[in-house]
Structure 1
Amino acid sequence: MLFQSIFLAAATLAPTALSCPQHTNAKRNVHLTTRQQVPPGTNVTQNDWAYEASFNWGKINPDYELCQTGTQQSPIALSLGNGLALNHVPTFKYNGSIAGNFYNWGYGPAFTVAHDEKAAEEDIDWTSHPSFTYDNETVYLKGWHIHAPADHSVGGDRSKAELHLVHVDAEGHEAAVMAIRLDPGNSNSTFFEQLPAMIGYTEMGVEEPTTVDFAPLLESVLYFNEFWTYQGSLTSPPCTEGIRWFVARQILFTGVDQMRAILGASTYSARAEQEVWQHRINE
């Protein structure tokens, strides 16, 4: 069955502390670098922090101070008491199937949109990627990855997992994340059925070239017609702020075996929820 046993061996090889994937199409087996855009001179390593100890990231490394002192840290708890967003409504330009690489980022399944592997990061034409627009600002899909359990809780409930669609501006700086919560249901997800089921049995970072149709994913959450939004941060060190978050109200339901495969491939990767401060929820 497609996807049923994805990454199971790879998950057992996951290092104890990896940051979110950078979503670059570099050579094989070198994907497991930090996802975030790290300012020059920042001393971010992959071995001095862990999700299980996210309460004190700011004390581990002085470059992680924002994790401790930031005013718009992610994730946060959400509820219908917050209302739903009427502003920042996204419109999508995800046309057809999208080529990329499917792999395990050390904490679970991930996908990176394909681009010229020979191009330096600063030379990539991000504007050729799938995109969405809000507030007259367009951002471009870099890739997606899964956290388990979900980063965001809604009404006190935390889903089994959460998929993050990471978007960048035209210069490649991370600008927005679209979050979709995942839970098991009664039938398989068409989106997950199209993914390979054979990655990661030999070594971490092995990629499988894959073409993905994002329509089933976006249709499952009604193209974010109902959502929460806020100004937040990256959910791993150095916890950079200024990220626009969109969290779909609808949940994507997978088949039971699909969810077991996701969880079997995953390592704990949920940051502790942060206190709401200057997040301006739905504003």
Structure 2
Amino acid sequence: MRPSTSVLVATAIISVTACPDHSNYQSHPHLAPRQTITSNPGRNATDWSYEASYNWGRIKPAYELCQTGTQQSPIAIGNNIGLSNYHHPNFTGYGGGNVTGNFFNWGYGPAFTLKHSGDDWTDLPSMQFDDETVYLKGWHIHAPADHSVGGRHSKAELHMVHVTAEGHERAVIGIRIDPGSSDSEFFAQLPQPLIGFNDTTQDVGVTVDMRAALAEVNDLSEFWTYKGSLTSPPCREGIRWFVARSVLFVGVEQMRDVLRVCTYSARAEQEVWRHEINSA
């Protein structure tokens, strides 16, 4: 079915907030768990939208990879492919789990950027896989989930973005989020009320236990992995994706709170090509 004229026009004129690069930590004097400031965290308007992600490749040459890439993300994950026996992530470099940074809304939902010293990323929590070490730069939430599993999309998905020592995105942990029967300890840490998608000027200095998020998905002991890309233009490839098999369940009111401050941010799933799902 052809997209409507109104959708094509919206693609050309809509101005939205780009997927956060998590480089925007600002030092807050006497940082306290609930200290609020009113500064712009640096989320810039873009010439693309998630509602028309099928069209990114034709917007300008810099986005060509969104159309021609061989390892584009996200993808659909089938229940019949089994779990990965390779590339197991190791989180001993996360230490105690507590990290300090900025909590904000990236224009689509909750996000968090870790405090770091200039261009030195190596003092951040580290994850090891194969012979690589990468560092947690920040996290953000998409709603609905980018990845489907067994044909179903969860209500949201947490992306934990890891970079190389030089600050280049290298690995992302994807954790699906759905409502359950009890509250999530991880989400209970976040400042209330959550910052809305229409408030891009506020951020909050907060300390968060990232180990809590991992614990709620069994420390990623079961996962799918593949070679993929960033899920927004310019859709750069070379990203190792880890998608947790376990779902991070939150309380009903927690789920409603998250969805209340989110807006649509799921890229259309891409055809599997050279993704090497779960392969060595």
| Aligned residue in 1 for 2:105 | 104
SS at match of 2:53: helix
Q: Look up the equivalent residue of 2:42 and give its one-letter code.
A: H
TM-score, normalised relative to structure 2: 0.86
Q: Quick one: percent identity of the two aligned structures?
A: 61
| Aligned residue in 1 for 2:216 | 220
Q: How far apart, in 2, do the equivalents of 1:198 and 1:254 lie?
A: 16
Q: How far apart, in 1, do the equivalents of 2:194 and 2:236 lie?
A: 31
Q: How far apart, in 2, do the equivalents of 1:76 and 1:114 lie?
A: 31
Q: By how many angstroms is 1:220 displaced?
A: 1.0
Q: How far apart, in 1, do the equivalents of 2:25 and 2:141 lie?
A: 20
| Aligned residue in 1 for 2:40 | 29
Q: By how many angstroms is 1:81 displaced?
A: 1.1
Q: 1:262 aligned to 255, 258, 267, which one?
A: 258
> Greater RCO between the two (CA within 8 Å, min separation 6)?
1
Q: How far apart, in 2, do the equivalents of 1:24 and 1:106 lie?
A: 16
SS at match of 1:223: helix
| Aligned residue in 2 for 1:162 | 157
Per-residue deviation, residues 35-69 of structure 1 (Å, max 9, x unmatched)? xxxxxxxxxxx332100100010011111000001
SS at match of 2:271: coil
| Aligned residue in 1 for 2:205 | 209
Extract unaligned runs of 5+ from structure 1. Answer: 1-14, 34-45
The answer to whether the 8 A contact 1:91-1:132 is kept is yes
Q: How far apart, in 1, do the equivalents of 2:141 and 2:256 lie?
A: 14
Aligned residues: CA RMSD = 1.5
SS at match of 1:72: coil
| Aligned residue in 2 for 1:247 | 243
| Aligned residue in 2 for 1:95 | 95
Q: By how many angstroms is 1:227 displaced?
A: 0.3
1:1-283 pair list within 5 angstroms: 16-27=15-26, 28-33=39-44, 46-92=45-91, 93-96=93-96, 97-116=98-117, 119=118, 124-198=119-193, 200=195, 203-283=199-279
The answer to whether the 8 A contact 1:77-1:153 is kept is yes
Q: How far apart, in 1, do the equivalents of 2:132 and 2:75 lie?
A: 24
SS at match of 1:63: helix
SS at match of 2:122: helix
The answer to whether the 8 A contact 2:225-2:241 is kept is yes
Q: How far apart, in 1, do the equivalents of 2:172 and 2:88 lie?
A: 14
The answer to whether the 8 A contact 1:105-1:205 is kept is no
TM-score, normalised relative to structure 1: 0.85
Q: How far apart, in 1, do the equivalents of 2:77 and 2:189 lie?
A: 31
Q: By how many angstroms is 1:31 displaced?
A: 2.9
Q: Look up the equivalent residue of 1:267 and give its one-letter code.
A: T
Per-residue deviation, residues 66-96 of structure 1 (Å, max 9, x unmatched)? 0001000000000221111000001002122
Q: How many residues align?
A: 251
